[in-house]
Amino acid sequence: MELLQTLSEQIQEITVGGFPAYKLLMALGVLLLTLILQGVIAGVILKQIERLASGTESDLDDQLIAIIKKPLTLLIFVGGLWIIEIILVQYLSPELKTLISDILGLVAIAVTAYVIHSAAPLLGKALESLTLQTDTDLDDLLVPYLPKLFRTAAIIVVIIKASEVFLGASAGALVGLLGGAGVALGLLLKDIIYDWFCTIIIYTDRLYKPGDWVLISGVPGFFQVVEVGLRTTRLYSWDWASIIKMPNSRMVASVVDNWSQHRGDVEEWGITGILKIDGITADQVERIMAGIDEIFKSMGTFLEHYVYLFPIEGNARVIKYVSYHPPAGYTPANDKFHLSLMRLLEKEGIAANNVYIISDQDTYAKNMKIDISKN
């Protein structure tokens, strides 16, 4: 026992370059085990995983394995170096210990960032397949931008970590500079960023979707939504047969009259108007209201209709009518109703210059887009 103890003490006293020989032997052993583990991972485990993945229909797993194959072996090597550093840490100067730890951390972060950067397109494909199973279109819009976001984030993290390792105290100034540049850029692009958030509002509140016909307050004409983009909404102008790009922030700020959304399962479009007639008697008002009601009933295609008498404005008697008609056959029904209304007024001896009709011309223009062949 004394001999073994003496031999152990003598071995511990042997140094090479200021390091105990047995510590160096331990470090060498860890390095050899790391290299062996790299070979086992690369030559056995990963090949087995590749063989299993080859039996699947999707090629995403094959591409992912190819991406992580080399970085995984490098991470194993970094882990081995980290264990060696723990073995030799008490014989290293504080500055050298800090430098080695920072470099190993940087390498680990860089390898992880490389995997994320390389696998970002695959992640985008996987998320795209998941969005096909959802009801909302917002995720379909955002998914194409996620790979770019992941790649940019990976690069930024590596840059910040590298600046911390090699610049030391100056890294804080770099981060502050980047933060200040981000604030300035945010102020410069605030309108664009606001449009992005308005896109979320459009989807979450279901204001409209591609294919809907809409009227927009302050913008003359009738439009069909062609595409809802990340910043703008593309609109087809029925009046000019042209495409208009409207910022999403303006669409949210405006009052959007969506003619493709209904109260329930029944599709209905309105025919409405206000008659202001001067110099007629109460009996005439009563006959006109009854005549309008009879026109709606006789046509037999309206879902609902209402005729109201409004308070007198000056010397004018005010009559309002509201009706709802299915989209199919709307245009001829609108024409027939108003022609019948004109004949009713002529029958009552009311001259055209005594009648002021208020109607929503933009709303009416919408219906001219209907396929007449269906009517």
Min mean pLDDT across 34-38, 45-49, 147-151, 184-188 is at: 184-188
| Distance from the first to the final alpha carbon of the chain | 109
For residue 105, the model assigns a pLDDT of 79
Q: Give residue-wise pLDDT tens across range 199-226.
A: 888 888 888 889 898 888 888 888 999 9
For residue 309, the model assigns a pLDDT of 92
Count CB-CB contacts under 10 A for residue 16: 10
Cα–Cα distance for residue pair 134/129, rounded to 1 Å: 10
Q: What is the mean pLDDT of the chain?
A: 75
- The shares of helix, strand and coil residues in the chain, as percent rounded to the nearest 5, are 60, 20, 20
Torsion of CA 13, 16, 21, 25, to 10 degrees: 180
* Pair 97, 188: CB distance under 8 Å: no
241, amino acid identity: A
Cα–Cα distance for residue pair 349/258, rounded to 1 Å: 39
Residue 375 pLDDT grade (very low, low, confident, very high; cuts 50, 70, 90): very low
The residue count for the chain: 375
Q: Give residue-wise pLDDT tens across range 153-165.
A: 777 777 777 776 6
Token pair 């206000």 in the structure block, residue: 274
Whole-model pTM? 0.47
361, amino acid identity: Q
Q: Give residue-wise pLDDT tens across range 129-140.
A: 665 555 555 555
* Pair 347, 303: CB distance under 8 Å: no
For residue 336, the model assigns a pLDDT of 93
pLDDT tops 90 at residue 306:
yes
51, amino acid identity: R
Q: Which of the following CATH numbers is that of domain 269-374: 3.10.20.30, 3.30.70.1130, 2.60.120.10, 2.60.40.180?
A: 3.30.70.1130
For residue 135, the model assigns a pLDDT of 56
What number is the average pLDDT over the span 314-342?
90
What number is the average pLDDT over the span 69-73?
71
Q: Give residue-wise pLDDT tens across range 234-278.
A: 999 877 888 988 998 889 888 888 878 877 677 888 888 889 888
Q: What whole-number percentage of the chain has pLDDT above 90?
A: 14
Cα–Cα distance for residue pair 276/363, rounded to 1 Å: 20
Count CB-CB contacts under 10 A for residue 257: 17
For residue 294, the model assigns a pLDDT of 95
Higher-scoring residue by pLDDT: 199, 68: 199
Residue 88 pLDDT grade (very low, low, confident, very high; cuts 50, 70, 90): confident
- Domain 202-258 sits in CATH at 2.30.30.60
Q: Give residue-wise pLDDT tens across range 142-191.
A: 666 667 777 777 777 777 777 766 666 445 555 565 565 566 555 556 67
Non-local (6+) Cβ contacts of 178 within 8 A are 160
* Pair 154, 116: CB distance under 8 Å: yes
